[in-house]
């Protein structure tokens, strides 16, 4: 009885409902009924319960058809390690950043809080941002968590789109240490001179291969403007803060470090109407302390609000 009262109390203080998946490994913070934003953090999980097996650090290379198999075999040959590497290291502090971003967007959008989905199982047990084989290495328990995570995202997108009458902004939050700037991924390569940021101007013809195809269609803005113009996410952040972001008007491509163009979830959810999206690869600085996370979340929320109000077609 007391526990029930405490739970109800927490819910009313926070002002939103949190659904825990059956496995207990995925949290869905249900957004406001009017929200058109879905935020995910799939790589910050820290739990490693005994009943979950470990993912290997690479799959097995099959030379006959030049593919990788991700299964119960731990291939230790050099070719498999070179060609079929995967990642098992978590993105620290990104669930915190995702929640802070949702809170700041709520404050900037008259109390309308985004949907938030967080995976608490460690990336060494499941990688929810990969196709299912690489994600789970065929492990049944991992597959359950994987499905729960993606089912919550689908539910959140259906709710956000309000039966197709609203456009949806999908934001996947990640962290990296390979680039000194925060990287905004839109499924665009960095240095390809035919389809990447090395082009002088990104052509609208390639918009449908990016995560901004639907936004180009509904905003009337060009892909080039949305990716690195003055009103791009990077442009809005850099104009209003000292955070370094790429791409932006100042940083048209990444001159150094690692490039993160966006992964499985971004491809899966933001390449078709009514969704557009981005992957935020937060650099070390913006994740390293609570004040920095709050400050960055606030600045990013301002940029998101600008896109929602000016470009999304919902207002
Ligand atoms: C797979 O093999 C490598 C190399 O022998 C080893 O370091 C690693 O711990 C193994 N992974 C698992 C999950 O057993
Ligand atoms: C590649 O070959 C393996 C082993 O024969 C097979 O299991 C797998 O389905 C093949 N993959 C593709 C993409 O053809
Ligand atoms: C593009 O970047 C990759 C690594 O990210 C590098 O291997 C390649 O040489 C680069 N190409 C050019 C043209 O800079
Ligand atoms: C991005 O592309 C430019 C131009 O080709 C290249 O000089 C730079 O090294 C690339 N950066 C990364 C992070 O791949
Ligand atoms: C944008 O509009 C074009 C032309 O109508 C269409 O082919 C394309 O599929 C649309 N893109 C998205 C993501 O809906
Ligand atoms: C973008 O902003 C800069 C600096 O404020 C300005 O010089 C430039 O003209 C703007 N570009 C466009 C296309 O408005
Ligand atoms: C995560 O945040 C805590 C403080 O909130 C900090 O001590 C830690 O270094 C951060 N880790 C990373 C990788 O940003
Ligand atoms: C810049 O920051 C101020 C103060 O937080 C905010 O009111 C404004 O909306 C921000 N502008 C943009 C374009 O993010």
What is the rounded distance in angstroms from the CA atom of residue 260 to the CA atom of residue 179?
A: 9
Q: Which atom of ligand 4 is nearest to the CA of 179?
A: 13
Name which residue sits closest to atom 3 of ligand 3, judged by CA.
191
CATH architecture label of 20-47+90-310: 3-Layer(aba) Sandwich (3.40)
Would you write out the chain's pLDDT as a tens digit for each of its 315 residues? 454 444 444 555 678 999 999 999 999 999 999 999 999 999 999 999 999 999 999 999 999 999 999 999 999 999 999 999 999 999 999 999 999 999 999 999 999 999 999 999 999 999 999 999 999 999 999 999 999 999 999 999 999 999 889 999 999 999 999 999 999 999 999 988 899 999 999 999 999 999 999 999 999 999 999 999 999 999 999 999 999 999 999 999 999 999 999 999 999 999 999 999 999 999 999 999 999 999 999 999 999 999 999 999 999
Among 288, 287, 35, which residue's Cα sits nearest to residue 171?
Answer: 35
What is the rounded distance in angstroms from the CA atom of residue 289 to the CA atom of residue 294?
A: 9
CB 273 within 8 A of CB 217: yes
- Report the pLDDT value the prediction gives residue 15, as an integer from 0 to 100: 86
- Which-ligand-closest: CA of 291? 7
Residues contacting 230, CB < 8 A, separation 6+: 239, 249
Ligand 4 lined by 253 (C-beta under 6 Å): yes
Name which residue sits closest to atom 13 of ligand 3, judged by CA.
191
What is the rounded distance in angstroms from the CA atom of residue 16 to the CA atom of residue 311?
A: 27
What is the rounded distance in angstroms from the CA atom of residue 161 to the CA atom of residue 168?
A: 6
Name which residue sits closest to atom 2 of ligand 3, judged by CA.
191
- 41 to 35, 44, 72, 90, 136: CA distances (angstroms): 18, 7, 27, 11, 17
Among 299, 35, 290, which residue's Cα sits nearest to residue 162?
Answer: 35
Ligand 4 lined by 193 (C-beta under 6 Å): no
CA of 236 to the centre of ligand 3 (A): 28
- Residue 220: Cβ-neighbour burial (10 angstroms; 0-12, 13-18, 19+): exposed
CA of 147 to the centre of ligand 1 (A): 26
CB 129 within 8 A of CB 6: no
Query: Looking up tokens 């198999």, which residue turns up?
Result: 69
- Which-ligand-closest: CA of 230? 6
CB 109 within 8 A of CB 306: no
Residue 277 parent element (H or E): strand 275-282
- Report the pLDDT value the prediction gives residue 30, as an integer from 0 to 100: 98
Q: Which atom of ligand 7 is nearest to the CA of 284?
A: 14
What is the rounded distance in angstroms from the CA atom of residue 49 to the CA atom of residue 58?
A: 22
**Measured over all CA atoms, what is the biggest interatomic distance in the chain, rounded to whole angstroms?**
64
- Residue 276: Cβ-neighbour burial (10 angstroms; 0-12, 13-18, 19+): buried
Residues contacting 155, CB < 8 A, separation 6+: 28
- 60 to 65, 131, 137: CA distances (angstroms): 12, 15, 11
- Report the pLDDT value the prediction gives residue 6, as an integer from 0 to 100: 45
Residue 41 parent element (H or E): strand 37-41
Residues within a 6 A CB radius of ligand 5: 208, 213-214, 217, 272-273
User: Considering the entire predicted model, what is its pTM?
Assistant: 0.94
Helices then strands, counting H and E runs in the chain, come out as 11, 10
Q: Which of 59, 62, 131 to mutate to test the pocket of ligand 2 (most atoms within 8 A of CB)?
A: 62
Name which residue sits closest to atom 9 of ligand 1, judged by CA.
56
CA of 214 to the centre of ligand 5 (A): 6
Crossing angle (nearest 10°) for helices 290-310 and 94-108: 50
């Amino acid at each position: 009885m007391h526990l029930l009262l405490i739970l109800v109390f927490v819910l009313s203080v926070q002002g939103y409902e949190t659904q825990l998946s059956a496995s207990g490994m995925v949290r869905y913070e249900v957004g406001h009924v009017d929200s058109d934003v879905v935020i995910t953090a799939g790589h910050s999980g820290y739990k490693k319960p005994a009943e979950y097996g470990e993912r290997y650090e690479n799959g097995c290379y099959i030379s006959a058809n030049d593919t990788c198999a991700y299964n119960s075999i731990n291939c230790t040959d050099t070719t498999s390690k070179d060609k079929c590497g995967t990642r098992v290291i978590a993105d620290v502090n990104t669930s915190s950043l995702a929640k802070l971003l949702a809170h700041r967007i709520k404050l900037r959008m008259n109390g309308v809080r985004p949907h938030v989905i967080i995976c608490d199982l460690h990336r060494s047990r499941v990688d929810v941002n990969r196709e299912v084989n690489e994600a789970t290495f065929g492990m049944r328990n991992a597959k359950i968590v994987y499905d729960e995570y993606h089912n919550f995202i689908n539910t959140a997108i259906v709710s956000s789109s309000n039966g197709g009458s609203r456009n949806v902004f999908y934001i996947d939050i990640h962290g990296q240490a390979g680039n000194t700037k925060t990287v905004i991924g839109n499924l665009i390569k960095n240095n390809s001179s035919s389809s990447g940021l090395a082009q002088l101007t990104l052509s609208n013809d390639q918009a449908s291969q990016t995560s901004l195809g639907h936004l180009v269609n509904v905003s009337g803005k060009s892909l080039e403007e949305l990716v690195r113009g003055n009103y791009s996410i990077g442009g809005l952040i850099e104009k209003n803060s000292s955070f370094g972001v790429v791409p932006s008007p100042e940083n048209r491509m990444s001159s150094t470090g690692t490039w993160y163009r966006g992964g499985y979830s971004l491809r899966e959810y933001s390449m078709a109407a009514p969704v557009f999206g981005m992957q935020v690869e937060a650099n070390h600085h913006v994740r390293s302390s609570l004040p920095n996370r709050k400050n960055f979340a606030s600045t990013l929320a301002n940029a998101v609000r600008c896109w929602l109000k000016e470009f999304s077609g919902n207002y």
